[in-house]
Each structure stands twice: as C-alpha cells, then as structure tokens.
Amino acid sequence: YLVPSIKDDWPGYSLDLFTYPEHYHDDIESVYIPHGVIMNRTERLAHYIMNDFQDDNIMVLCVLKGGYKFCADLVEFIKILGRNSNKYLETRVEFIRLKSYLNDQSTEDLHIIGCQDLSFLRGKVCDFDTGKTMKALLKHVETFEPKMVKVAGLLVKRVPNMAESLTDYVGFEIPNRFVVGYALDYNEYFRDLNHICVISRTGKMKYKI
C-alpha cells in the first residue's frame, strides 16, 4: 500500500488556522497533521483491513495509552464499512499498556503494565499498533501462538531500522520529530489535542519531569 510521507522540512500548519485547547498556546509550535486528515487516512486503513481479512474475525490489541484514539476510530470505521457492505468483520478489542518514554526520549526498557497474560490471543487473528517497542511486543505476543499477527500504526518515523518493515498498515511516514496530540503524550500532557502537533521548547520545559 502507498504510504503518505511527510518531508523532513515540513514545518506544519500555523496554529492560527485551527482550533485547539487555549492552555497549550505556548506549548506547541504547529499543527503537524490536522484531525480531519488523520480521520480520512484512518478510514482508508480500515478499507485495507476489510479487504485483507475478508470473513475472518479479528482480535484488536490496543496499545495504551497513545494508541487508544487511533484504535477506537479504526475499529469504528471497520464497523461502519461492514454495515454498508455485504461483509462484516467481527472485531473484539483487548488492551495492553506499554511504557518506554521518559520525557521525549525512548528508553530501552519496555514495561508491560496490566494484562501481561495474552493467552486469549491463542489461535486468533490479531491486529495492533505501537512504535519503537514493536519488536519486543511482537516477540511477547508470538509466545501466545496467535493464528496471525498484523500491525497497524498511525505514525512510523524515518529512523535507522525504522518500524515500517514490521507495520502492515501505516498511516503516515514522518521525520524523527517528537509529536503530541490525538492521544500521543509528553509526560501525560497533550492527549486532549485532536490534531497531531509539534511540541515547543517551552512545552518541553514546562512539562518535563
């Protein structure tokens, strides 16, 4: 599938063009991917999944917390497409929480919080999303012997050994920039932004721990 690629020098849209929580005015530099574009692209990914899985039922493993909006919207589009066609892809959603970031740096430690026993995946067709931690998570998931595993990721960053090769359904390929919004956070802040935005130096300093 073709993947939209955002150029390295793309500065994003001016904040004056969009609405966003006013308390973040000094904390973000620009709107990198507007919410409407995210939704349209997510709908396209839902089409790809519907075509690929046909009549299979799938278990969706949502990676919390950053993946919950993408997961919810993707599953909703799959349901809508099913209602408007002669094929319906039954989806069941389970959740797993990962933590690998400190401030804006990804650490080597992968912490699985909550449901570590994924035995409910055995024999199932699975679809889930994550980022740099994908290899470790995939290795963990495979130990529970699912029938098939597919990975959906809204964003894949252009970095050495980038995760695109492990991602079956990619929303956008972006430069290696730290972005927030649409459930992506910086120390638990910015999840309430609808757009994906570039955090400012001021924002990093204000919410640093």
- 28 Ramachandran zone, left/alpha/beta (phi>0; psi -120 to 50): beta
Q: Is the pLDDT of residue 27 over 80?
A: yes
- 2-11, 35-44, 133-142, 194-203: lowest mean pLDDT where? 133-142
The angle formed by the CA atoms of residues 9, 160 and 125, to the nearest 5 degrees, is: 105
Cα 148 from Cα 151, distance rounded (Å): 10
- Contact assessment for residue 171 and residue 42, using Cβ atoms and an 8 Å cutoff: yes
Residue-range domain boundaries for the chain:
36-172
Q: Is 55 a catalytic residue?
A: no
Helices within the chain (DSSP H only): 35-53, 68-83, 134-142, 201-206
Decide which of 178 and 110 is more confident: 178
Place 57 in a pLDDT band, splitting at 50, 70 and 90. Answer: confident
> What CATH class has 36-172?
alpha beta
Given the residues 129, 168, 185, 192, the one annotated as active site: 129
Residue with tokens 């849209």: 13
- Residue from 33, 27, 1, 7 nearest 158 by CA: 7
Q: Read off the pLDDT of each residue in 53-64 and give the average, rounded to a whole number.
A: 80
- 11-15, 115-119, 204-208: lowest mean pLDDT where? 115-119
State the virtual CA torsion across 107, 110, 111, 117 in degrees, nearest 10: 170
How does pLDDT run across 125-144, given as a tens digit for each residue?
444 444 456 777 777 778 77
- 2-6, 156-160, 200-204: lowest mean pLDDT where? 156-160
Q: For residue 160, what is the enclosing H or E element?
A: none
Residue with tokens 């120390």: 187
pTM: 0.84
